[in-house]
Amino acid sequence: MASGFFLFFKNNLPQRIFSEDQLPTKNVVVDSLLLQAFEEEEQKKTESETDNSTEKKDEEISEEQLISNEALESFSGMLYLEPFFAQLYKLEQLQQGNVRIAYYGDSMTDGDMIVQDLRKNYQDKYGGGGVGYVSITSESAQSRASVIHQYSNNWKVQSYLNVKKPTSPFGISGHVFFTNDTVNPSWVSYKAGGIRHLTNLEKPILYYGKSDNMNGKVAVVVDNDTIINPLSPVTELNKLKLTDKTALKQIKLLFSEADSIPVYGVDFSTAKGVQIDNFSSRGNSGLPLSLFNTGLMQKYQKDLNYNLIVLHYGTNVLNYGSLNYSWYTRQMTRVVNHLKQCFPKAAILVISTADKATKYDLEMKTDSAVVPLVKAQRKYAVEAHTGFFNLYEAMGGEGSMIEWTEDSPTKANKDYTHFNYRGAQEVAGMMFKHLEKGYEVYKKQRVEKEKEAKLKADSIKQKKMEQLQKMKNDSIIKQNEER
Protein backbone atom coordinates (compact mmCIF):
# COMPACT_ATOMS: atom_id res chain seq x y z
CA MET A 1 0.00 0.00 0.00
CA ALA A 2 2.82 2.41 0.86
CA SER A 3 4.52 1.76 -2.46
CA GLY A 4 1.27 2.28 -4.28
CA PHE A 5 0.59 5.61 -2.55
CA PHE A 6 4.17 6.70 -3.27
CA LEU A 7 3.92 5.95 -7.00
CA PHE A 8 0.54 7.64 -7.24
CA PHE A 9 1.56 10.85 -5.49
CA LYS A 10 4.98 10.93 -7.17
CA ASN A 11 3.35 11.53 -10.53
CA ASN A 12 0.93 14.14 -9.23
CA LEU A 13 3.04 16.22 -6.84
CA PRO A 14 4.89 19.30 -8.14
CA GLN A 15 8.64 18.94 -8.77
CA ARG A 16 9.37 21.42 -5.97
CA ILE A 17 7.33 21.84 -2.82
CA PHE A 18 8.99 25.18 -2.04
CA SER A 19 9.48 27.85 -4.67
CA GLU A 20 13.05 28.72 -5.59
CA ASP A 21 12.05 32.23 -6.61
CA GLN A 22 13.69 34.91 -4.51
CA LEU A 23 11.31 36.61 -2.14
CA PRO A 24 11.54 40.32 -1.31
CA THR A 25 14.10 40.86 1.43
CA LYS A 26 13.08 42.91 4.43
CA ASN A 27 14.61 46.39 4.68
CA VAL A 28 16.04 46.21 1.13
CA VAL A 29 14.82 49.00 -1.13
CA VAL A 30 14.97 48.82 -4.91
CA ASP A 31 15.16 52.27 -6.45
CA SER A 32 11.99 53.66 -7.99
CA LEU A 33 13.64 54.41 -11.35
CA LEU A 34 14.58 50.75 -11.73
CA LEU A 35 11.02 49.68 -10.93
CA GLN A 36 9.76 52.20 -13.48
CA ALA A 37 12.21 50.86 -16.06
CA PHE A 38 11.01 47.31 -15.36
CA GLU A 39 7.39 48.36 -15.90
CA GLU A 40 8.22 50.16 -19.14
CA GLU A 41 10.10 47.16 -20.49
CA GLU A 42 7.25 44.82 -19.53
CA GLN A 43 4.85 47.12 -21.36
CA LYS A 44 7.06 47.11 -24.46
CA LYS A 45 7.30 43.32 -24.26
CA THR A 46 3.52 43.01 -24.08
CA GLU A 47 3.08 45.34 -27.05
CA SER A 48 5.72 43.40 -28.95
CA GLU A 49 3.94 40.10 -28.29
CA THR A 50 0.66 41.66 -29.41
CA ASP A 51 2.32 42.68 -32.68
CA ASN A 52 3.59 39.09 -33.10
CA SER A 53 7.16 40.38 -33.17
CA THR A 54 10.10 38.74 -31.46
CA GLU A 55 12.34 40.31 -28.87
CA LYS A 56 15.54 41.63 -30.44
CA LYS A 57 18.84 40.60 -29.01
CA ASP A 58 21.23 43.19 -27.69
CA GLU A 59 23.49 44.19 -30.58
CA GLU A 60 27.22 44.10 -30.11
CA ILE A 61 29.47 47.01 -31.05
CA SER A 62 31.91 46.62 -33.91
CA GLU A 63 35.59 47.07 -33.20
CA GLU A 64 35.63 49.99 -35.65
CA GLN A 65 33.49 51.93 -33.16
CA LEU A 66 36.07 51.60 -30.42
CA ILE A 67 38.02 54.86 -30.28
CA SER A 68 40.54 53.18 -27.98
CA ASN A 69 41.26 50.57 -30.71
CA GLU A 70 40.77 47.72 -28.23
CA ALA A 71 39.14 44.41 -29.02
CA LEU A 72 35.63 44.36 -27.62
CA GLU A 73 36.07 41.17 -25.59
CA SER A 74 39.07 42.58 -23.73
CA PHE A 75 37.91 46.21 -23.60
CA SER A 76 39.24 48.13 -20.59
CA GLY A 77 39.00 51.73 -21.83
CA MET A 78 42.26 52.82 -20.20
CA LEU A 79 42.46 55.62 -22.76
CA TYR A 80 39.44 57.23 -21.11
CA LEU A 81 41.10 57.12 -17.68
CA GLU A 82 44.03 59.33 -18.72
CA PRO A 83 42.74 62.43 -16.83
CA PHE A 84 42.87 60.33 -13.64
CA PHE A 85 46.30 58.92 -14.46
CA ALA A 86 47.61 62.41 -15.27
CA GLN A 87 46.66 63.69 -11.82
CA LEU A 88 48.11 60.57 -10.18
CA TYR A 89 51.34 61.18 -12.09
CA LYS A 90 51.42 64.76 -10.89
CA LEU A 91 51.00 63.58 -7.30
CA GLU A 92 53.58 60.78 -7.54
CA GLN A 93 56.28 62.44 -9.62
CA LEU A 94 55.93 66.11 -8.70
CA GLN A 95 54.47 65.74 -5.20
CA GLN A 96 51.77 68.25 -6.15
CA GLY A 97 48.06 68.31 -5.38
CA ASN A 98 45.89 65.35 -4.51
CA VAL A 99 43.76 62.69 -6.19
CA ARG A 100 40.10 62.17 -5.32
CA ILE A 101 37.76 59.33 -6.25
CA ALA A 102 33.98 59.11 -5.81
CA TYR A 103 32.89 55.48 -5.58
CA TYR A 104 29.16 54.93 -6.28
CA GLY A 105 27.78 51.47 -5.63
CA ASP A 106 25.01 49.30 -4.26
CA SER A 107 25.00 46.73 -1.45
CA MET A 108 28.31 45.29 -2.69
CA THR A 109 30.05 48.32 -1.15
CA ASP A 110 27.74 48.58 1.86
CA GLY A 111 29.61 49.25 5.10
CA ASP A 112 32.61 50.55 3.09
CA MET A 113 33.27 47.02 1.81
CA ILE A 114 35.77 46.93 -1.09
CA VAL A 115 36.15 50.72 -0.94
CA GLN A 116 37.97 50.78 2.41
CA ASP A 117 40.56 48.33 1.07
CA LEU A 118 40.95 50.17 -2.23
CA ARG A 119 41.40 53.39 -0.22
CA LYS A 120 44.04 51.71 1.94
CA ASN A 121 45.91 50.41 -1.13
CA TYR A 122 46.08 53.86 -2.70
CA GLN A 123 47.01 55.65 0.53
CA ASP A 124 49.71 53.07 1.25
CA LYS A 125 51.41 53.83 -2.05
CA TYR A 126 50.59 57.48 -2.78
CA GLY A 127 49.92 58.95 0.66
CA GLY A 128 46.84 60.62 2.07
CA GLY A 129 44.52 59.96 4.96
CA GLY A 130 40.98 60.31 6.22
CA VAL A 131 37.77 58.47 5.49
CA GLY A 132 36.51 61.21 3.17
CA TYR A 133 32.94 62.42 2.76
CA VAL A 134 30.36 60.86 5.12
CA SER A 135 26.61 61.50 5.03
CA ILE A 136 24.53 62.64 8.00
CA THR A 137 22.79 59.28 8.35
CA SER A 138 23.53 55.94 6.71
CA GLU A 139 21.78 52.58 6.55
CA SER A 140 25.18 50.88 6.82
CA ALA A 141 26.53 52.95 9.73
CA GLN A 142 26.44 50.01 12.18
CA SER A 143 28.42 47.73 9.88
CA ARG A 144 31.10 50.26 8.96
CA ALA A 145 34.53 49.97 10.58
CA SER A 146 36.26 52.84 8.77
CA VAL A 147 34.31 55.40 10.81
CA ILE A 148 32.09 55.00 13.90
CA HIS A 149 28.96 56.82 12.80
CA GLN A 150 25.99 57.55 15.09
CA TYR A 151 23.04 59.94 14.83
CA SER A 152 19.68 60.81 16.39
CA ASN A 153 16.46 59.30 15.07
CA ASN A 154 14.78 62.65 14.36
CA TRP A 155 16.34 63.38 10.98
CA LYS A 156 14.10 63.71 7.92
CA VAL A 157 15.75 61.97 4.97
CA GLN A 158 15.01 62.18 1.27
CA SER A 159 16.84 59.69 -0.96
CA TYR A 160 17.21 59.53 -4.72
CA LEU A 161 16.17 55.88 -4.45
CA ASN A 162 12.53 56.74 -3.86
CA VAL A 163 12.09 60.51 -4.34
CA LYS A 164 12.26 62.10 -7.79
CA LYS A 165 11.63 65.71 -6.79
CA PRO A 166 13.22 66.46 -3.42
CA THR A 167 12.44 69.54 -1.33
CA SER A 168 16.05 70.65 -1.94
CA PRO A 169 18.53 69.11 -4.40
CA PHE A 170 20.18 65.85 -3.42
CA GLY A 171 23.69 66.13 -2.07
CA ILE A 172 26.61 64.26 -3.58
CA SER A 173 25.69 61.10 -1.66
CA GLY A 174 22.23 61.05 -3.26
CA HIS A 175 20.50 62.22 -0.06
CA VAL A 176 19.33 65.43 1.56
CA PHE A 177 18.73 65.69 5.32
CA PHE A 178 16.55 68.03 7.37
CA THR A 179 16.44 68.50 11.14
CA ASN A 180 13.34 67.77 13.18
CA ASP A 181 14.36 69.57 16.36
CA THR A 182 11.05 70.75 17.79
CA VAL A 183 11.70 68.85 21.03
CA ASN A 184 15.31 67.64 20.98
CA PRO A 185 18.14 68.75 18.69
CA SER A 186 19.03 66.58 15.72
CA TRP A 187 22.58 65.37 16.14
CA VAL A 188 25.26 63.32 14.43
CA SER A 189 28.61 62.09 15.72
CA TYR A 190 31.68 60.64 14.04
CA LYS A 191 34.54 58.74 15.61
CA ALA A 192 37.73 57.66 13.85
CA GLY A 193 37.95 53.96 13.01
CA GLY A 194 40.92 51.70 13.67
CA ILE A 195 41.92 51.12 10.04
CA ARG A 196 45.32 52.29 8.84
CA HIS A 197 45.31 55.94 7.64
CA LEU A 198 41.89 56.47 9.26
CA THR A 199 42.85 56.82 12.92
CA ASN A 200 42.12 60.58 12.83
CA LEU A 201 39.19 62.63 11.56
CA GLU A 202 41.01 64.87 9.13
CA LYS A 203 39.98 68.57 8.81
CA PRO A 204 36.17 68.20 9.18
CA ILE A 205 34.06 70.43 6.94
CA LEU A 206 30.25 70.52 7.04
CA TYR A 207 28.36 70.87 3.75
CA TYR A 208 24.82 72.24 3.64
CA GLY A 209 22.46 73.90 1.16
CA LYS A 210 20.33 76.97 0.60
CA SER A 211 17.39 78.13 2.73
CA ASP A 212 15.53 81.27 3.82
CA ASN A 213 16.09 80.25 7.45
CA MET A 214 18.94 82.41 8.82
CA ASN A 215 18.47 81.33 12.45
CA GLY A 216 20.03 77.88 12.24
CA LYS A 217 22.95 76.95 14.47
CA VAL A 218 25.25 73.99 14.92
CA ALA A 219 27.02 73.21 18.18
CA VAL A 220 30.37 71.53 17.58
CA VAL A 221 31.46 69.30 20.45
CA VAL A 222 35.14 68.29 20.48
CA ASP A 223 36.55 66.73 23.65
CA ASN A 224 35.23 68.97 26.46
CA ASP A 225 34.80 72.05 24.25
CA THR A 226 31.56 73.20 22.64
CA ILE A 227 31.49 75.94 20.02
CA ILE A 228 28.21 77.22 18.57
CA ASN A 229 28.41 78.30 14.93
CA PRO A 230 25.68 80.08 12.96
CA LEU A 231 24.60 78.49 9.69
CA SER A 232 24.55 80.80 6.69
CA PRO A 233 22.54 79.01 3.97
CA VAL A 234 22.82 81.76 1.35
CA THR A 235 24.14 79.81 -1.64
CA GLU A 236 23.30 76.50 -3.25
CA LEU A 237 26.27 74.85 -1.54
CA ASN A 238 27.77 76.17 1.70
CA LYS A 239 30.55 74.80 3.87
CA LEU A 240 31.66 75.33 7.44
CA LYS A 241 35.07 74.47 8.88
CA LEU A 242 34.21 72.75 12.16
CA THR A 243 37.47 72.86 14.10
CA ASP A 244 41.15 73.72 13.85
CA LYS A 245 42.18 70.91 16.18
CA THR A 246 44.56 68.29 14.82
CA ALA A 247 44.69 64.56 15.58
CA LEU A 248 40.91 64.70 16.05
CA LYS A 249 39.38 61.44 17.27
CA GLN A 250 35.71 62.28 17.67
CA ILE A 251 33.29 65.09 16.86
CA LYS A 252 29.58 65.62 17.55
CA LEU A 253 27.27 68.13 15.85
CA LEU A 254 23.98 69.31 17.37
CA PHE A 255 21.65 71.33 15.13
CA SER A 256 19.10 73.80 16.51
CA GLU A 257 16.54 76.09 14.81
CA ALA A 258 17.78 74.60 11.54
CA ASP A 259 14.50 73.36 10.08
CA SER A 260 14.24 73.78 6.27
CA ILE A 261 18.04 74.01 5.94
CA PRO A 262 19.25 71.10 3.76
CA VAL A 263 22.20 69.37 5.39
CA TYR A 264 24.39 67.08 3.27
CA GLY A 265 27.38 65.64 5.10
CA VAL A 266 30.86 66.11 6.55
CA ASP A 267 34.17 65.69 4.74
CA PHE A 268 37.23 64.26 6.52
CA SER A 269 40.24 64.30 4.20
CA THR A 270 43.84 65.45 3.97
CA ALA A 271 45.02 68.12 1.55
CA LYS A 272 47.48 65.78 -0.18
CA GLY A 273 47.49 62.16 -1.25
CA VAL A 274 44.60 59.98 -2.44
CA GLN A 275 41.07 60.18 -1.08
CA ILE A 276 38.18 57.81 -1.89
CA ASP A 277 34.60 58.64 -0.87
CA ASN A 278 32.12 55.78 -0.57
CA PHE A 279 28.59 56.60 -1.77
CA SER A 280 26.89 53.21 -1.48
CA SER A 281 23.10 52.75 -1.51
CA ARG A 282 21.39 49.42 -1.04
CA GLY A 283 18.99 48.60 -3.83
CA ASN A 284 20.58 51.07 -6.24
CA SER A 285 20.71 50.23 -9.96
CA GLY A 286 22.72 53.32 -10.91
CA LEU A 287 19.73 54.97 -12.63
CA PRO A 288 19.03 57.40 -9.72
CA LEU A 289 22.31 59.20 -10.51
CA SER A 290 20.37 60.83 -13.33
CA LEU A 291 18.49 62.84 -10.65
CA PHE A 292 21.58 64.81 -9.61
CA ASN A 293 21.19 68.58 -9.96
CA THR A 294 23.91 69.58 -12.44
CA GLY A 295 24.53 73.02 -10.94
CA LEU A 296 24.93 71.70 -7.39
CA MET A 297 27.20 68.84 -8.49
CA GLN A 298 29.40 71.26 -10.42
CA LYS A 299 29.82 73.27 -7.22
CA TYR A 300 30.80 70.08 -5.39
CA GLN A 301 33.24 69.30 -8.20
CA LYS A 302 34.78 72.76 -8.00
CA ASP A 303 35.39 72.28 -4.28
CA LEU A 304 36.24 68.56 -4.01
CA ASN A 305 37.70 68.15 -7.51
CA TYR A 306 37.05 64.49 -8.29
CA ASN A 307 39.46 62.90 -10.75
CA LEU A 308 37.64 59.58 -11.06
CA ILE A 309 34.01 58.49 -10.71
CA VAL A 310 33.52 54.75 -10.15
CA LEU A 311 30.15 53.13 -10.98
CA HIS A 312 29.76 49.70 -9.36
CA TYR A 313 26.22 48.39 -9.98
CA GLY A 314 24.39 45.31 -11.20
CA THR A 315 23.37 43.28 -8.15
CA ASN A 316 19.82 44.63 -8.19
CA VAL A 317 19.48 44.63 -11.97
CA LEU A 318 20.03 40.86 -12.13
CA ASN A 319 16.55 40.28 -10.72
CA TYR A 320 14.98 41.62 -13.91
CA GLY A 321 12.98 38.88 -15.64
CA SER A 322 14.68 38.96 -19.03
CA LEU A 323 18.11 38.36 -20.54
CA ASN A 324 17.82 41.41 -22.78
CA TYR A 325 19.50 44.36 -21.07
CA SER A 326 19.53 46.78 -23.99
CA TRP A 327 17.25 49.09 -21.97
CA TYR A 328 19.86 49.22 -19.19
CA THR A 329 22.61 50.04 -21.69
CA ARG A 330 20.56 52.93 -23.08
CA GLN A 331 19.65 54.38 -19.71
CA MET A 332 23.09 54.03 -18.14
CA THR A 333 24.67 55.66 -21.19
CA ARG A 334 22.47 58.67 -20.48
CA VAL A 335 23.46 58.50 -16.80
CA VAL A 336 27.17 58.62 -17.68
CA ASN A 337 26.67 61.55 -20.04
CA HIS A 338 24.83 63.36 -17.24
CA LEU A 339 27.66 62.64 -14.80
CA LYS A 340 30.16 64.10 -17.27
CA GLN A 341 28.24 67.36 -17.07
CA CYS A 342 28.04 67.15 -13.27
CA PHE A 343 31.74 66.40 -12.77
CA PRO A 344 33.69 68.08 -15.59
CA LYS A 345 37.16 66.66 -16.32
CA ALA A 346 36.59 63.58 -14.13
CA ALA A 347 37.24 60.19 -15.73
CA ILE A 348 34.63 57.45 -15.24
CA LEU A 349 35.20 53.74 -14.54
CA VAL A 350 32.44 51.12 -14.85
CA ILE A 351 32.72 47.97 -12.70
CA SER A 352 30.74 45.02 -14.01
CA THR A 353 28.50 42.85 -11.88
CA ALA A 354 30.20 40.06 -10.00
CA ASP A 355 29.26 36.44 -10.50
CA LYS A 356 26.08 35.32 -8.75
CA ALA A 357 24.87 31.76 -8.22
CA THR A 358 21.25 30.60 -8.40
CA LYS A 359 19.77 27.16 -7.85
CA TYR A 360 18.67 25.35 -11.03
CA ASP A 361 17.22 21.83 -10.58
CA LEU A 362 18.67 21.59 -7.08
CA GLU A 363 22.16 22.58 -8.30
CA MET A 364 23.86 25.95 -7.78
CA LYS A 365 25.04 27.50 -11.05
CA THR A 366 25.96 30.95 -12.34
CA ASP A 367 22.76 32.93 -12.78
CA SER A 368 21.77 33.00 -16.45
CA ALA A 369 21.45 36.80 -16.33
CA VAL A 370 25.06 37.48 -15.28
CA VAL A 371 26.80 37.25 -18.65
CA PRO A 372 24.13 39.24 -20.56
CA LEU A 373 24.32 41.98 -17.93
CA VAL A 374 28.14 42.08 -18.07
CA LYS A 375 27.91 42.51 -21.86
CA ALA A 376 25.34 45.29 -21.45
CA GLN A 377 27.58 47.07 -18.92
CA ARG A 378 30.59 46.73 -21.19
CA LYS A 379 28.54 48.09 -24.06
CA TYR A 380 27.48 51.23 -22.25
CA ALA A 381 31.08 51.72 -21.11
CA VAL A 382 32.16 51.58 -24.77
CA GLU A 383 29.38 53.88 -25.96
CA ALA A 384 29.89 56.42 -23.17
CA HIS A 385 33.70 56.33 -23.44
CA THR A 386 34.52 55.15 -19.91
CA GLY A 387 36.99 52.71 -18.41
CA PHE A 388 35.74 49.18 -17.75
CA PHE A 389 36.72 46.45 -15.28
CA ASN A 390 35.19 43.00 -15.82
CA LEU A 391 34.82 41.84 -12.21
CA TYR A 392 32.95 38.69 -13.26
CA GLU A 393 35.88 37.58 -15.38
CA ALA A 394 38.49 38.71 -12.85
CA MET A 395 37.02 36.58 -10.05
CA GLY A 396 37.05 33.48 -12.28
CA GLY A 397 34.00 33.67 -14.54
CA GLU A 398 31.35 30.95 -14.58
CA GLY A 399 30.89 29.20 -11.26
CA SER A 400 33.37 31.44 -9.45
CA MET A 401 30.88 32.68 -6.84
CA ILE A 402 30.22 29.08 -5.84
CA GLU A 403 33.93 28.57 -5.26
CA TRP A 404 34.26 31.85 -3.36
CA THR A 405 31.33 30.82 -1.13
CA GLU A 406 32.18 27.17 -0.51
CA ASP A 407 35.98 27.21 -0.46
CA SER A 408 37.87 27.43 2.82
CA PRO A 409 38.51 30.10 3.89
CA THR A 410 35.29 31.43 2.42
CA LYS A 411 35.30 34.74 0.53
CA ALA A 412 31.55 35.27 0.04
CA ASN A 413 28.32 34.98 2.00
CA LYS A 414 25.86 32.12 1.78
CA ASP A 415 23.54 34.19 -0.41
CA TYR A 416 26.01 33.45 -3.24
CA THR A 417 25.87 37.14 -4.13
CA HIS A 418 27.80 39.32 -1.69
CA PHE A 419 31.45 39.16 -0.65
CA ASN A 420 32.55 38.91 2.96
CA TYR A 421 35.43 41.04 4.27
CA ARG A 422 38.03 38.58 2.97
CA GLY A 423 36.49 38.54 -0.49
CA ALA A 424 36.01 42.31 -0.54
CA GLN A 425 39.69 42.76 0.23
CA GLU A 426 40.62 40.50 -2.68
CA VAL A 427 38.28 42.34 -5.06
CA ALA A 428 39.82 45.66 -4.02
CA GLY A 429 43.24 44.20 -4.73
CA MET A 430 42.11 43.13 -8.21
CA MET A 431 40.78 46.58 -8.96
CA PHE A 432 43.92 48.29 -7.67
CA LYS A 433 46.11 45.99 -9.77
CA HIS A 434 43.93 46.67 -12.83
CA LEU A 435 44.21 50.45 -12.42
CA GLU A 436 47.92 50.31 -11.60
CA LYS A 437 48.54 48.32 -14.79
CA GLY A 438 46.84 51.04 -16.80
CA TYR A 439 48.77 53.72 -14.93
CA GLU A 440 52.12 52.04 -15.64
CA VAL A 441 51.29 51.98 -19.36
CA TYR A 442 50.32 55.64 -19.15
CA LYS A 443 53.63 56.53 -17.45
CA LYS A 444 55.65 54.63 -20.04
CA GLN A 445 53.81 56.33 -22.92
CA ARG A 446 54.16 59.70 -21.24
CA VAL A 447 57.92 59.28 -20.81
CA GLU A 448 58.21 58.25 -24.47
CA LYS A 449 56.16 61.26 -25.58
CA GLU A 450 58.25 63.57 -23.42
CA LYS A 451 61.43 62.12 -24.97
CA GLU A 452 60.02 62.58 -28.46
CA ALA A 453 58.98 66.13 -27.61
CA LYS A 454 62.46 66.86 -26.26
CA LEU A 455 64.14 65.38 -29.33
CA LYS A 456 61.83 67.42 -31.54
CA ALA A 457 62.54 70.58 -29.53
CA ASP A 458 66.29 69.88 -29.66
CA SER A 459 66.08 69.29 -33.40
CA ILE A 460 64.24 72.58 -33.94
CA LYS A 461 66.76 74.36 -31.72
CA GLN A 462 69.65 72.80 -33.67
CA LYS A 463 68.14 73.87 -37.00
CA LYS A 464 67.70 77.42 -35.73
CA MET A 465 71.32 77.48 -34.56
CA GLU A 466 72.46 76.19 -37.94
CA GLN A 467 70.38 78.85 -39.71
CA LEU A 468 71.85 81.57 -37.50
CA GLN A 469 75.33 80.26 -38.12
CA LYS A 470 74.69 80.21 -41.88
CA MET A 471 73.38 83.77 -41.78
CA LYS A 472 76.46 84.79 -39.82
CA ASN A 473 78.78 83.08 -42.30
CA ASP A 474 76.97 84.63 -45.27
CA SER A 475 77.35 88.03 -43.64
CA ILE A 476 81.09 87.53 -43.16
CA ILE A 477 81.52 86.40 -46.79
CA LYS A 478 79.59 89.41 -48.04
CA GLN A 479 81.72 91.78 -45.95
CA ASN A 480 84.89 90.21 -47.30
CA GLU A 481 83.65 90.58 -50.88
CA GLU A 482 82.84 94.25 -50.34
CA ARG A 483 86.37 94.84 -49.07
CATH of the domain at 177: 3.40.50.1110
Number of domain units in the chain: 1
Rounded Cα–Cα distance for residues 326 and 475 (Å)? 74
11 found inside a domain: no
Mean pLDDT for each consecutive 10-residue tract of the chain (483 residues)?
Answer: 57 41 42 79 64 47 54 90 96 92 96 97 96 95 94 96 95 96 88 92 97 96 95 98 94 96 97 96 95 98 98 89 89 97 97 96 94 96 96 97 96 96 98 98 89 70 77 77 69
| Residue 3 pLDDT | 64
Burial string for 437-453 (b: 16+ CB within 10 Å, else e) reads ebbeebeeeeeeeeeee
Looking at residue 68, its pLDDT comes to 59
Query: What confidence score (pLDDT) does residue 202 get?
Result: 93
d(CA 140, CA 382): 32
Could you tell me if residue 25 is inside a domain? Answer: no
Q: What domain range is 332 assigned to?
A: 65-456
- Report the SS3 class of residue 312: strand
Does 126 map to a domain? yes
> Parallel, antiparallel, or unpaired: how do β-strands 387-389 and 347-351 relate?
parallel
Query: Is residue 3 exposed (0-12), middle (13-18) or buried (19+ Cβ within 10 Å)?
Result: exposed
Is 389 within the bounds of a domain?
yes
pLDDT of residue 48: 58
Alpha carbon distance 34, 51 (integer Å): 26
Q: Is residue 449 part of a domain?
A: yes
Helix (H, G, I), strand (E, B) or coil at 272: coil
Find the largest Cα–Cα distance for the chain. Answer: 137
Per-residue pLDDT tens over the stretch 195-236? 999 999 999 999 999 999 999 999 999 999 999 999 999 999
Q: Residue 16's pLDDT is what? A: 38
277: which strand partners?
102
Does some domain include residue 24? no
pLDDT of 55 reads 42
pTM: 0.85
Backbone dihedral region for residue 240 (phi beyond 0: left; psi -120 to 50: alpha; all else: beta): beta
Whether 396 is in a domain gets the answer yes
What residue type is 225 in one-letter code? D
pLDDT of 337 reads 97
**Residue 404 falls inside a structural domain:** yes
